[in-house]
Structure 1
Amino acid sequence: MNGDEGCLNKTQPIGIFDSGVGGLTVVHCLWKRFPQEQVIYFGDTAHLPYGSRRPEEIIAFGTEIVSFLLQFAVKAVVAACNTSSSLSLPYLRERFPVPIIGMIGPGVRAAARVTRNKRVGVIATKATVESGAYEKAFQECAPDIRVYSQPCPLFVPLIENGCIEEKETYQVARTYLRPLREAGIDTLVFGCTHYPFLAPVIRQILGDGVRLVDPAQEAVKELADMLKLKEGKAPAGEGPRHLFFASGPVTSFYMVGSRLLGGFPYSVEHISLDGRVEDHCRRLSLGRPQVGG
């Protein structure tokens, strides 16, 4: 089941998960548009970064996290992680009876609308780039667009450690972005929800002539359309009680959350999923389902 049928319960929360704090960019966009929606957030900081993980690990992480979120009777889930979206989304949609929105499709459709010269760059984790998910999505959406993908493995650790505008970050960013500048792109897709934190750095390096596409904003627009279609928008009322969980370190939530949200007045509860994840990994390694599409 994939949760496509029927209306949603308006009072139920929305689940959001990511490998760390990058998904807070989705939370930020969601609250700007729907401040009445309750969020249950899970950051898998124990397994960060996802970009160097095996596909079966990433699928197993997603399986356990969505199972955990469903304990809160969430009405929809946003897989606010491009790596997870590129590798596990079809599996998760088939397994769970709840609408699950990924990041790749919304970002690709937005980039296809705004590019002028049909040269689009994608910066992402190593796993996302190697999955070919963006190339496949562009081929289905706009086959005339040339896609230039660039893995940026150091970006997530830098962001999680609060190194947003340090000299080292600029040096790393210049190295990663050089091939995209040489390719003449006019549009850049943030292929990881962490990367919008580096937008000022990237803007300075690429210049104003390159349009930056944040899939977090596009995914929230897709979520909004789904809530409208399924009559699931939460009613106005008292401020919702948001819950934040992490499988590992929580420091980055307060550090990066304050930078993005102007403050982070929430507690983050530690939840371990390791035992069950290992079981899933073993099963998936023996017979991993096809995850294309």
Structure 2
Amino acid sequence: MSDARPVGLFDSGVGGLTVSRQVFRLLPGESTIYFGDNAHVPYGPRTAEELVGFARDILAFLVSRGVKYVIFACNTNSSVSLSVVRNLFAVPMIGLIEPGAREAVRVSTGGRIGVIATEATIKSGAYQRALKSMDAGLAVFGQAAPRLVPLVEAGMAGTAESLAAVAEYGRPLKEAGIDTLILGCTHYLFLEKEFRQVLGPEVKLVDPAVATVKAAREEMARRGLLNDAGGPACHRYYVSGDPRVLQEAARCFLGCAIPPVEQVNLDGK
């Protein structure tokens, strides 16, 4: 039995497009609805109460649009809100933390894993707990990077400013001798070149999006939620702030034009 309903994804802004790209690659038959909460970006300095509130409102919106499954395309909300809102909605959902941690453990050669993420994600300890639960002998090094999301949202990836910021946050991790780094915020893949320049080829970079979408595909198959009917997929995009930011980021990162982005004010419902 085929299920043609869309898959929902959400993030604080443009970073979740890195997850959308993996959905297009690994689940090409699936339609999607993407919500970028760029009126509230960055999420890193937000309180847990605020983050849960944002997630609850966005999920209510996605459910109202008929999604069959939700991918938290945001590490911060995956680490803080998922365990709470999962009990409020019947729609199945998945976050980035456990799949990303599992992939890091798989590829690590020396058991020294770095996690670079927003302040809220690092403070939550979610990646640290997930990694240690998989291998108690791992050495885990966390690094908050509050300047990176604003740089990406401002379209400044690939600039001297972004390289300097990545160097500021990446050097302590390199000095700690990490062999693997989890890019614990979906925005950070926009800065992949900077990370590779700062850390060198000996440090493996883990993008949790790949492992997460693979895990989502497996779960959707178990639940009978895959769209096996064929035909073109339909992708819709919504934001809570300026639509032009997402439109431009999608053009640059996805390499193609996307349908018009619609602004939705969830605060005013």
Q: Pick the TM interval, shorter chain.
A: over 0.9
Displacement of 1:264 in angstroms is 2.3
Q: Does 1:19 align with 2:12?
A: yes
Q: Which amino acid in the other structure matches residue 221 of structure 1?
A: K
User: Which sections of structure 1, spanning at least 5 residues, go unmatched?
Assistant: 1-7, 277-293
1:206, 1:237 → 2: CA distance?
42
Hey, what does 1:88 align to over in structure 2?
81
Q: Structure 2 CA distance, aligned partners of 1:156 and 1:254? A: 17
**Cα deviation digits, residues 62-107 of structure 1 (max 9, x gap):** 0000000001221100011111011111111111101110011110
Q: Give the secondary-structure state (helix, strand or coil) at the position aligned to 2:157.
A: coil
Q: Name the residue aligned to 1:193.
A: 186
The worse-fitting range, judged by mean Cα deviation, of 235-244 and 110-119 is 235-244
State the partner residue of 1:287.
none
Instruction: Within 5 Å, give how 1:200-279 maps onto structure 2.
Output: 200-275=193-268
From 113, 136, 143, give the equivalent of 2:136. 143
Distance of 2:231 and 2:218 partners within structure 1: 24
Aligned-partner Cα distance in 1 for 2:127–2:218? 23
TM-score between both structures, scaled by the size of structure 2: 0.97
CA distance in 2, matches of 1:236, 1:204: 44
Report the count of equivalent residues. 269
Shift >6 Å, 4+ stretches: none
Residue among 145, 155, 162 paired with 1:152: 145
Kept in 2, the 8 Å contact 1:9–1:75? The answer is no
CA distance in 2, matches of 1:256, 1:72: 24
Q: Is 1:127 the counterpart of 2:112 in the alignment?
A: no
Aligned mates of 1:168, 1:40 — CA distance in 2: 32
Name the SS of the counterpart of 1:95 in structure 2: coil
Distance 2:52 2:27 in 1: 29
One-letter amino acid of the structure 1 residue matched with residue 210 of structure 2: Q
- 1:240 Cα deviation (Å)? 2.1
Contact 2:99-2:208 at 8 Å conserved across structures: yes
TM-score w.r.t. the length of structure 1 is 0.89
Q: Report which stretch shifted further, 52-61 or 26-35.
A: 26-35
Is the CA contact (8 Å cut-off) linking 2:2 and 2:228 kept in structure 1?
A: no
Question: How high is the sequence identity, in percent, across the aligned residues?
Answer: 44
- 2:27 alignment partner in structure 1: 34
- What are the Cα deviations for residues 193-218 of structure 1, in whole angstroms up to 9, with x where unaligned? 11111111101111110100000111
Runs of 5+ unmatched residues, structure 2? none
The 1-side partners of 2:123 and 2:38 are apart by: 22
Q: RMSD across aligned C-alpha pairs, in angstroms? A: 1.2
Return the alpha-carbon distance in structure 2 between the equivalents of residues 249 and 118 of structure 1. 42
Distance 1:88 1:192 in 2: 15
Contact 1:39–1:242 (8 Å) recurs in 2:
yes
Partner SS for 1:162:
coil
Describe the SS at the equivalent of 1:10.
coil
